Amino acid sequence: MTRDELFTLLAGLRQARVAGKRAPHKPLLLLWLFGQFAATGSSAASYQQAEAPVSQLINDFGPPVASVVASRQRAAMPFVHLERELWDLRDADGIPIGSDVPERRPQLLGRGAVGRLRAPVEHLLADPGVMAAAARLLLEQHFTPILAELICAEVGLDMADLDLAGSVWKGGLDRSKLRRRGFAEEVLRAYAYRCAMCGFDGALGRHPVAIEAAHVRWHSQDGPDEVTNALALCALHHALFDLGVLGITEDRLILVSELYVAKSPAGQAVDALAGKPLLAPRPRHSPVDVVHVSWHHAQVFKHYHLGAV
């Protein structure tokens, strides 16, 4: 396997989209395996070891799931279905497990399933430049820059190393995936350099600070670089919006996830946003489009688990 073959496989992971929901399960399993490999020199992991941390990653950075039971075994899907060109999955006796077994915890635990990235993949990832480029590819294709940073911290990958690796592989970079120049400035101007949620408009001298253009439907998920798919948000509310702590209703009122908790007055100030209207953009700019609001609501906002225990 060559580097380019590895990158092509990573860029083309098959995703079973259930009801049109984004499915970052495989990228998150891979990023967790990369972290394991970087730390220990081996990517071998039993399902028992991987279940809790990988399910947690999918719960934190994937779309919401309907039940608590399902949330605890979300690692099973990518563990079973990760492409066999990359992944070797065997039972306790060393017999290969195919991708046709049920993607369920009892089957995987019962058979003592152990997975490992194939030797040629590990061999390539032993080069820090390849590892960094592979991780960047997955992060850019499936998440937002803010989430990329949080995921790296969670799986133990060094973000600074990844930044240095930018030039290693550009083969799969689709030009249309690059952000449109001037997009951020246009969004910030449309909102007069104020956070659309809290009104923050801090500046250092004449320069606005900690105010950012946030996509509503993510750029990596085909969200257009248009003011109607964006909000100016302060750095805090941008991060909480990408994480799904904050959401928006179709009437453009602010939602706060029931899963959010805070004890301090500063933390609780987020709760106080619930039900408030978004700041409207300046005249001649259209407000955020309901189509994109619905996408964020279904794919990102952290809904309360029905029947949670």
Nearer Cβ to Zn ion (28/196): 196
From residue 155 to residue 174, what is the string marking binding to Zn ion with x (rule CB under 5 A)? --------------------
Give the nearer residue to Zn ion in terms of CB position, either 102 or 275. 275
Q: How far apart are CA 47 and CA 75, in angstroms?
A: 8
User: For residue 203, what is the DSSP state?
Assistant: E
Q: Which of 75, 198, 293, 300 binds Zn ion (CB under 5 A)?
A: 198
CA dist 184 → 91, 165, 231 (Å):
50, 24, 10
Rank residues 160 and 266 by Cβ distance to Zn ion and give the closer one.
266
Write the DSSP string, 28-71: HHHHHHHHHHHHHS---EEHHHHHHHHHHHHHHHS---S-HHHH
200 sits near Zn ion (criterion: CB under 5 A): yes
Binding footprint of Zn ion, residue count (CB under 5 A)? 6
The reply to whether 240 sits near Zn ion by the rule CB under 5 A is no
Neighbours of 117 (CB within 10 A): 23
Q: What span, in angstroms and rounded, lies between the C-alpha atoms of 83 and 25?
A: 12
Which amino acid makes up residue 292? H
Decide: is 195 part of the binding site for Zn ion (CB under 5 A). Answer: yes
Among 38, 138, 157, 197, binds Zn ion (CB under 5 A): 197
Check binding of 194 to Zn ion (CB under 5 A).
no
- Could you tell me which stretch among 84-92, 138-146, 193-201, 205-213 binds Zn ion (CB under 5 A)? 193-201
Contact yes or no for 229/216 (Cβ under 8 A): yes
What does DSSP assign to residue 116?
A: E
Q: Please give the residues from 219 up to 238 whose contact with Zn ion meets the rule CB under 5 A.
A: 234, 237
Q: Interface residues with Zn ion (CB under 5 A)?
A: 195, 197-198, 200, 234, 237
